[in-house]
Structure 1
Amino acid sequence: MAVKVFLAYTFKDEAARNELINHLYQLRWQGLIADWEERATGQGLSWQGSGEISSALERAQLILLLVSPDFVHSAYCYSAELKVALQRHNAGLARVIPVLVRPTEREDTPLADLAVLPTNGVAISAWEDREAAWQQVIAELGTWLAAAASASATSTAAIPLPPPPTPPVEPATAASSSSSPSLWLVPYRRNPLFTGRSSLLAYLHDMPISNKASAVTPAQVVSGPAGSGKTQLALEYAYRYGHEYEAVLWVNAASRQLLIHELARIAEALELPERVLPNQYLVALAVRRWLEKRPGWLLILDNVADGETIRDLLPVGARGHQILLARQPLALPKAMQVTLPALTAEEAALLLLRAAGSLPVEATLEQAPPAEASRADEVVAVLRAYPLALALAGAYIETEQCSLSSYLNLYKQASVELQRSIWSATHQVDSLFAPLATVLHISLSRAERISPSAAELLRLCSFLQPDHLPLELLVSGGSELGESLGQLLLEHFDLLRLIHELRRFALVDYSRGSLVLHRLVSAFVRQRLSRESRLLWAEQTIRLVESACQSETATPTALCRAYLPHLLTCARWVEEWQLVSPDAARLLEQTGYYLQRCVAYREAEPLLRRALLIREQQLGPEHPELSASLYNLGLFYEEQGRSPEAEALYWRVVAIEERQAGNDHQGLTRALYRLALLYRDRRDFERAESLFLQVLESWRQELAPEHPLLATLYHELATLYRVQERYEQAEWLYQQALRMRRHLLGSEHLAVAQTLSALGSLYHAQRHHEQAEQCYLQALTIQEGLPLAEQLDLATTLNNLALLYRETGRYGQAELLYQRALVIYRQLVGDEHPYTASCLENLAMLYHDRGEYERAEPLYQSALQIRERMLGADHPALAINLNNLATLYTALHKYGPARALFKRALEIGERVFGKNHPTYARFLENYALLLQQTRQVSRALELRARAREIQARQAQSLSIGQAGTGAAPGRAVVSN
Structure 2
Amino acid sequence: MMQSTSFGPGNQGQQVGHNYGTINAEFHLPPERPETPPKPFATIPFSRDPDFVDRGDILEQIDKRCAEPAGRVALVGLGGVGKSQLAIEFAHRIAAAQPDTWVFWVHAGTQARVEEGFRAIADAVKLPGRNQPKAGIPQLVHSWLSNERNGGWIMILDSADDRDTFFSPIGDDARNKRPFAMYLPQSRNGSILITTRDKDLASRLTGRRQNTIDVGPMTQTDALTLLEKKLGLLPDPDIATDLVQALDLVPLAIGQAAAYIQARAPRSSLEKYLAEFRENERKRSRLLGYDGGDLRRDGGASNAVLTTWTISFDHIRSERPSAADLLSLMSFFDRQGIPGWVLKPSRTAKDTTRTRSLDGAGERDSDDGRSAADSNTDDGTDDNIDGEFEDNVARLRDYCLIVPDETGDEFEMHGLVQLSIRRWLEAAGQQEMFKNQCIDRMASSFPTGEYENWATCRSLFAHAEVALRYRPSKVTAEAWATLLHNGGWYAWSQGRYDIAQQMLDEAMKVRGRKLGKEDMATLASTLIFALVLKDGGQWKEAEKLEVQVMETCKTKLGADHPFTLTSMHNLASTFWNQGRWLEAEELEVQVMETRKTKLGADHPSTLTSMHNLALIYMNQGRWDEAEKLEVQVMETRKTKLGADYLDTLTSMHNLASTFWNQGRWSEAEELEVQVMETRKTKLGADHPSTLTSMANLASTFWNQGRWSEAEELEVQVMETRKTKLGADHPDTLTSMANLASTFWNQGRWSEAEELEVQVMETRKTKLGADHPDTLTSMHNLAFTWKDQGRHSDALALMEDCAQARQRVLREEHPDTLSSLAAVERWSR
Letter of the 1:719 counterpart? L
Partner residue, 1:919:
none
Partner residue, 1:350:
296
Please list the CA deviations of residues 111-156 of structure 1 after superposition, one character each: whole Å capped at 9, or x if unmatched: 9999x987xx655xxxxxxxxxxxxxxxxxxxxxxxxxxxxxxxxx
Q: How does 1:848-927 map to 2 (within 5 A)?
A: 848-856=744-752, 859-860=755-756, 863=759, 876=771, 879-880=774-775, 883=778, 887=782
Contact kept, 8 Å, 1:682 with 1:875, in 2: the verdict is no
Partner residue, 2:439:
542
Contact kept, 8 Å, 2:227 with 2:254, in 1: the verdict is no
Please list the CA deviations of residues 576-598 of structure 1 after superposition, one character each: whole Å capped at 9, or x if unmatched: x7987211102222443444455
Partner residue, 1:495:
392
State which of 732, 738, 759 in structure 2 corresponds to 1:836: 732
User: Structure 1's 695 and 77: CA in aligned 2 closer, same or farther, altered over 3 A?
Assistant: farther
**Post-superposition offset of 1:617:** 1.1
Partner residue, 2:344:
476
Partner residue, 2:163:
74
Confirm or deny that 1:774 pairs with 2:666: yes
The separation in 1 between residues aligned to 2:730 and 2:330, in whole angstroms, is: 42
Confirm or deny that 1:574 pairs with 2:471: yes
Identity %: 20
Contact kept, 8 Å, 1:108 with 1:511, in 2: the verdict is no
Q: How does 1:132-531 map to 2 (within 5 A)?
A: 188=216, 200=227, 218-219=237-238, 221=240, 231-232=250-251, 305=275, 348-353=294-299, 386-388=303-305, 391=308, 460=329, 463=332, 470=338, 472=340, 475-476=343-344, 491-492=388-389, 495=392, 509-512=401-404, 514-516=412-414, 517-518=416-417, 521-522=420-421, 524-525=423-424, 527-528=426-427
User: Structure 1's 868 and 78: CA in aligned 2 closer, same or farther, altered over 3 A?
Assistant: farther
Structure 2 runs not aligned, ≥5 long = 1-68, 71-109, 115-156, 169-185, 257-269, 350-383, 405-410
User: Structure 1's 777 and 745: CA in aligned 2 closer, same or farther, altered over 3 A?
Assistant: farther
If asked which structure has higher relative contact order (CA below 8 Å, sep 6+), I would say 2
Contact kept, 8 Å, 1:634 with 1:646, in 2: the verdict is yes
Contact kept, 8 Å, 1:676 with 1:689, in 2: the verdict is yes
Contact kept, 8 Å, 1:488 with 1:495, in 2: the verdict is no
The separation in 1 between residues aligned to 2:809 and 2:437, in whole angstroms, is: 70
Confirm or deny that 1:929 pairs with 2:796: yes
User: Structure 1's 820 and 452: CA in aligned 2 closer, same or farther, altered over 3 A?
Assistant: closer
Aligned length: 590
User: Structure 1's 559 and 104: CA in aligned 2 closer, same or farther, altered over 3 A?
Assistant: farther
The separation in 2 between residues aligned to 1:859 and 1:610, in whole angstroms, is: 38
Q: What SS does the aligned partner of 2:240 have?
A: strand
Contact kept, 8 Å, 1:463 with 1:522, in 2: the verdict is no
State which of 518, 522, 530 in structure 2 corresponds to 1:626: 522
State which of 499, 515, 519 in structure 2 corresponds to 1:603: 499
User: Structure 1's 44 and 559: CA in aligned 2 closer, same or farther, altered over 3 A?
Assistant: farther
**Post-superposition offset of 1:687:** 1.9
Q: What SS does the aligned partner of 2:667 have?
A: helix
User: Structure 1's 619 and 948: CA in aligned 2 closer, same or farther, altered over 3 A?
Assistant: closer
Partner residue, 1:642:
538
Structure 1 runs not aligned, ≥5 long = 1-14, 17-41, 47-67, 80-98, 124-169, 175-187, 210-216, 238-299, 310-325, 329-338, 357-382, 400-442, 482-486, 896-921, 931-939, 970-976
User: Structure 1's 220 and 590: CA in aligned 2 closer, same or farther, altered over 3 A?
Assistant: same
State which of 641, 657, 660 in structure 1 corresponds to 2:553: 657
**Post-superposition offset of 1:812:** 3.7
Contact kept, 8 Å, 2:707 with 2:742, in 1: the verdict is yes
User: Structure 1's 662 and 71: CA in aligned 2 closer, same or farther, altered over 3 A?
Assistant: farther
The separation in 1 between residues aligned to 2:254 and 2:825, in whole angstroms, is: 61
The separation in 1 between residues aligned to 2:669 and 2:455, in whole angstroms, is: 35
**Post-superposition offset of 1:104:** 7.8
User: Structure 1's 926 and 762: CA in aligned 2 closer, same or farther, altered over 3 A?
Assistant: farther
The separation in 2 between residues aligned to 1:718 and 1:686, in whole angstroms, is: 13
The separation in 2 between residues aligned to 1:69 and 1:224, in whole angstroms, is: 29
**Post-superposition offset of 1:489:** 9.5
User: Structure 1's 774 and 327: CA in aligned 2 closer, same or farther, altered over 3 A?
Assistant: same
The separation in 1 between residues aligned to 2:476 and 2:559, in whole angstroms, is: 32
The separation in 2 between residues aligned to 1:894 and 1:542, in whole angstroms, is: 66
Q: Give the TM-score taking structure 2 as reference length.
A: 0.54
**Post-superposition offset of 1:786:** 0.8
The separation in 1 between residues aligned to 2:802 and 2:674, in whole angstroms, is: 48
Partner residue, 2:130:
none
Letter of the 1:670 counterpart? T
Partner residue, 2:811:
954
**Post-superposition offset of 1:875:** 7.3
Please list the CA deviations of residues 723-750 of structure 1 after superposition, one character each: whole Å capped at 9, or x if unmatched: 3234453344345445545665677777
User: Structure 1's 728 and 872: CA in aligned 2 closer, same or farther, altered over 3 A?
Assistant: closer
User: Structure 1's 664 and 527: CA in aligned 2 closer, same or farther, altered over 3 A?
Assistant: same
User: Structure 1's 197 and 71: CA in aligned 2 closer, same or farther, altered over 3 A?
Assistant: same
Partner residue, 2:675:
783
Q: How does 1:720-731 map to 2 (within 5 A)?
A: 720-731=616-627
**Post-superposition offset of 1:615:** 0.8
Mean CA deviation greater in 784-793 or 608-617:
784-793
State which of 610, 613, 622 in structure 1 corresponds to 2:509: 613
The separation in 1 between residues aligned to 2:247 and 2:321, in whole angstroms, is: 29
Letter of the 1:847 counterpart? F
Please list the CA deviations of residues 637-673 of structure 1 after superposition, one character each: whole Å capped at 9, or x if unmatched: 3333433333333333323432345898322222222
The separation in 2 between residues aligned to 1:875 and 1:741, in whole angstroms, is: 36
When Rg is computed on C-alpha atoms for both structures, the one with the higher figure is: 2
User: Structure 1's 758 and 456: CA in aligned 2 closer, same or farther, altered over 3 A?
Assistant: closer
The separation in 2 between residues aligned to 1:852 and 1:736, in whole angstroms, is: 42
Letter of the 1:835 counterpart? D
**Post-superposition offset of 1:599:** 3.8
**Post-superposition offset of 1:618:** 1.5
The separation in 1 between residues aligned to 2:195 and 2:454, in whole angstroms, is: 34
The separation in 2 between residues aligned to 1:594 and 1:802, in whole angstroms, is: 29
